[in-house]
Chains A and B, each alone.
Chain A
Amino acid sequence: MSVEHHAFHVTEHLPALAAVVPLIGAVAAALVRNGVAAWLVAVAVAWSLPVISILMLGQVEASGPISYALGGWAPPAGIEFRVDQANAYLAILVSVMAAVVLTGAPRSIADEIEPANRAWYYAVFLLCLCGLMGMIVTGDAFNVFVFMEISSLATYVLIAMGRDRRALLASYQYLIIGTVGATFYVIGVGLLLAMTGTLNLVDLAASLPEVEATRPLIAAAAFIVVGLGLKLALFPMHLWLPNAYAYAPSTASAFLASTATKVAVYLLLRFAFSVFGIDFMLANTPAGVMLMTLAALAMIAGSLSAIFQTNVKRMLAYSSVSQIGYIILGIAMVSETGLTGGISHLFNHALIKGCLFLAVASAVFATGAVRIEDMAGLGRTMPITMGAFVIAGLGLIGVPGTAGFVSKWYLIQGAAEQGMWWIVAVIVVSSLMAVVYVGRIVEVAWFRAPAQRAPREAPIELVAATVALAAAVLVFGLNTDFSAGVAADAARILIEGYAR
């Protein structure tokens, strides 16, 4: 009998740290009580996560997927955190977006949230981040549910902190729908457990082929897809999203819009491709046709609704509904090109929407209002912010040279490969609608005279965060090695499924 001495190496525990660090940070932020101190904690925590994520990616690229046994209990009995290229990249995206948004946030938060609640805001923000990171790294179906609840509960609080009283209603609305979604998800997981006796995702993937395509299994797939569909706001399950984004504090909107729905999309990809396997999904459920139809409807209906909004945050929210349609569309094509388009749009849209919401946060800071009319003349008084807004807006339209073009290119190519010309038509029509709703803001911001009290640029950190994201929109529009290259890798991994 030999006694093994396990020295504690931080690098062996990265997956756990990805979820634990923000959790500890949340507690610390809540304990310091002071807004500025809590912000410092939050920024430090938020910037440590991209480092952790990048280190994880390095390990994955060096020696294959990381399997981390939580608490030393070996999977499948214990909870496994499992990181491969697909979720390592998502972890980088989510943590970077959180870090950028938090860095830009303090004075916007100070403007929108009462002093007593500011520390709580950062604590809840970090709690939400903990939930999202946990959903990304975990390899256990029930553990996904636990982290989903952590992030959802935190999100309800974040939304309710909006200074408009309708934020409470929006939060309540999301609470109801979000709970239904999570419940559907957990029912599906329960059915899976009943059929296979395991909750570990890799184990599930291995044991599902042994179970015939029985009704409980199909029902499980349906519950999980619909549950996640609610969380990712797939049309027509999007009704919670516009109000939530519109009335949440501006920086919370920026964070949620660029991360929360993306993580739900990732889970959908995981279950559809890795766990159930795409052959099962296509043979036994109408998921392919259903997702494609809903995606097309989302793209048109979301863009159309965006055109008619008077509140700029609601407009961006409806635009998100339509852009989520693009992502799901790529997934529903079930081809490597389509999936590459969908996943790269997941990345690109996070950057674009993050930038747009931060620009709006600046506008709200400067004018105190969120109606499109209130942005009159901002192009002249806040040229840097609105310049960034226009760049991100062009990305939303999909103008070449911006990140949005890259993903649209793959999506159109994927549709063309399969001869689905009606999908090409839907993509270009939805893009045209984006020209209209982005153009509206441009017209108001540049062609209307500024209000009496001419605002100046927002605080430097907020402007810097916005500009950084706008620059990323341009950089990833011309250098696709990272975004599309990663997406192609992820698409390949997902199509291959789990291999232990």
Chain B
Amino acid sequence: MTSTLLMDIALLLPFAGAVAIWLAGRWPNLREAVTLVTAGALFAVVITLLARVLGGERPEIHPVQLFPGVEIDFVLEPLGMLFATVASTLWIVNSIYSIGYMRGNDEPRQTPFYICFAIAIGGAIGVAFAGNLLTLFLYYELLTISTYPLVTHKGNDEAKAKGRVYLLLLMGTSMVFLLPAIIWVLAAAGTTEFTAGGLLSGTGMPTWQVSLLLALFIFGIGKAAVMPVHFWLPAAMVAPTPVSALLHAVAVVKAGVFSVVKVVVYVFGVDYLSSSGAGAWLTYAAGFTVVCASVIALMQDNLKKRLAYSTVSQLSYVVLATAILTPISVMGAMLHIAAHAVSKITLFFAAGSIYTAAHKTEISQLDGIGRLMPWTMGAFAVGALSMIGVPPTAGFVSKWFMLQGGMAAENWVAIGVIFLSTVLNAAYFLPIVYRAFWRAPPPADAHHPHHGEGPAPVVLALTITALGTLALFFFPDVPLGLAEAMIADQPVPAPEPTALTEVTK
């Protein structure tokens, strides 16, 4: 099959899956089978494309012209390929987990749940494949809309209120900042197509305008949760755990940081931003978010809330790594998208497993739980180590690249932030692991009999992702290969005219 046909299939498959899930809604086993088969098929298609992209192909499709000069089109490049791979891989694991969780907790309205989930994945694939800003925006909004019913799944007053925050903040930032930014780019460059080396790098915009435009993008992409537009993420904790995993690992926040990296690399251009100095402020904004969110995480007793603020902090790692504006740090940002995805999904799966088996939500209740749920808490420990950046986990690899980039750029602020937050990460994750394994569990009584592990699909899923976290440390070939390919795609900047070239003239 040609690569363009595979792209068509990858873009349409989740939506076809959503329809099939709807049709199969009456028979839960068939419905879940449809989800798994769709996820598996999508994975197969994406992996085939992955091999071709690593082989140097950059397929593109142009289905619709929306406005004169502005199309809906899709171009597959390494960065998008990475995001699509992450999303489609984790969809399978997440589906296995969802089945265990949703059945284990007797959740209502499971058919709409799986439908929205599939549509959200379709949105993520569209974001990953988008060939220009308008297409990215289209799928970005689709992702927001399709996850709103998931966030409000419980349907009670709290879910409604949190859903409002979720929708208004994400849609609001995208409409108020992102859309004008896109139109500004169109006005300045005459197109919104993503261009290697940066779409705006030749336009000669004044530096203050570039800075402002970058700000519109960073805060317009609310899904990247750079403070102060992060409130939606803790609010979304009201959702069932598989949705939290979707938001935090598979699709939503990853779409946010992916878009940030994509915009910085393909709209502004790394060299353009660093040579003009227009991106300098981003280090501070991202650095502040990293540290501040870690401090807030430290103060949370609710496990999912702590994880949520940890995500806010980790997302800004990606933004920070991008803001260092060296090729090697941008590679670090890409690697961290993959590393954080697989580690954070493990942590959320573990939190959901604890909730399903023990109905515990607070960290202070977790004494000795590692002895009762060794698989769950073992996986949790692996995820936690990866968050801190300890080898042999995925988080170490990306942090290594970030620090290298920071050294190369002599960006001491960024390096300082990374060190400080590593300490903070350890301070809020290690006590949980300590509590779980080294403290004695409360004695069992008639009302609170000892529970065992979570449901089998749940434990299976979190074991897979924990192993994935370890595997990415030992075999980082795929994300690393994609990161290298993306850097290789960027044109080498013209050397600055030096005294020597002046002389040779």
CB contact between B152 and one of A398, A412, A432, A447 (< 8 Å): that residue: A447
Is B186 a contact partner of A400 (Cβ separation < 8 A)? no
Stretch at the interface among A65-73, A277-285, A357-365, A478-486: A478-486
**Cβ-closest chain B residue relative to A380:** B109
Query: A413 and B187 in contact (CB under 8 A), knowing A435-B167, A435-B168?
Result: yes
- Inside 8 A of B171's CB, which chain A residues have their CB? 397, 432, 435
B431 contacts A by Cβ under 8 Å: no
Is B64 a contact partner of A439 (Cβ separation < 8 A)? no
Is A480 a contact partner of B66 (Cβ separation < 8 A)? yes
- Inside 8 A of B155's CB, which chain A residues have their CB? 446-447
Query: A417 and B141 in contact (CB under 8 A), knowing A432-B168, A478-B64, A479-B64?
Result: no
**Cβ-closest chain B residue relative to A479:** B64
Stretch at the interface among B173-181, B238-246, B293-301, B338-346: B173-181
A390 to chain B, nearest CB (A): 9
**In the complex, A127 Cα to B186 Cα: how many Å?**
47
- Inside 8 A of B172's CB, which chain A residues have their CB? 432, 435
Most buried by B among A398, A400, A412, A479: A400
CB contact between A412 and one of B142, B145, B179 (< 8 Å): that residue: B179
A residues 480-500 near B (Cβ < 8 Å) are 480, 484
A residues contacting the other copy or chain, number (CB 8 A): 30
Is A484 a contact partner of B145 (Cβ separation < 8 A)? no
A78 contacts B by Cβ under 8 Å: no
A47 contacts B by Cβ under 8 Å: no
Is A400 a contact partner of B175 (Cβ separation < 8 A)? no
**In the complex, A457 Cα to B222 Cα: how many Å?**
38
B377 contacts A by Cβ under 8 Å: no
**Cβ-closest chain B residue relative to A383:** B112
Is B184 a contact partner of A416 (Cβ separation < 8 A)? yes
Is B67 a contact partner of A409 (Cβ separation < 8 A)? yes
B134 contacts A by Cβ under 8 Å: yes
B401 contacts A by Cβ under 8 Å: no
B460 contacts A by Cβ under 8 Å: no
Query: What secondary structure prevails in chain A residues at the interface with B?
Result: helix
**In the complex, A413 Cα to B183 Cα: how many Å?**
6
A190 contacts B by Cβ under 8 Å: no
A76 contacts B by Cβ under 8 Å: no
**Cβ-closest chain B residue relative to A442:** B148
Is A413 a contact partner of B141 (Cβ separation < 8 A)? no
Is B183 a contact partner of A416 (Cβ separation < 8 A)? yes
**Cβ-closest chain A residue relative to B67:** A480
B residues 137-161 near A (Cβ < 8 Å) are 137-138, 141-142, 145, 149, 152, 155, 159-160
**Cβ-closest chain B residue relative to A400:** B138
Is A428 a contact partner of B67 (Cβ separation < 8 A)? no
**In the complex, A412 Cα to B178 Cα: how many Å?**
12
A61 contacts B by Cβ under 8 Å: no
Most buried by B among A409, A413, A416, A429: A409
A401 contacts B by Cβ under 8 Å: yes
**In the complex, A478 Cα to B142 Cα: how many Å?**
14
CB contact between B167 and one of A412, A417, A431, A439 (< 8 Å): that residue: A439
CB contact between B66 and one of A413, A425, A439, A478 (< 8 Å): that residue: A478
B164 contacts A by Cβ under 8 Å: yes
Q: Mark A325-343, 1 if CB is under 8 A from B, else 0.
A: 0000000000000000000
A20 contacts B by Cβ under 8 Å: no
User: What residues of chain A have their CB less than 8 Å away from a CB belonging to chain B?
Assistant: 394, 397-401, 406, 409-410, 412-413, 416-417, 421, 424-425, 428-429, 431-432, 435-436, 439, 443, 446-447, 478-480, 484
The 10 closest A-B pairs by CB, nearest first: A400-B138, A428-B176, A428-B175, A447-B155, A399-B141, A412-B183, A416-B183, A432-B172, A424-B180, A431-B175
7 contacts between A and B (CB under 8 A): A401-B138, A401-B141, A406-B67, A416-B184, A421-B180, A425-B176, A447-B160
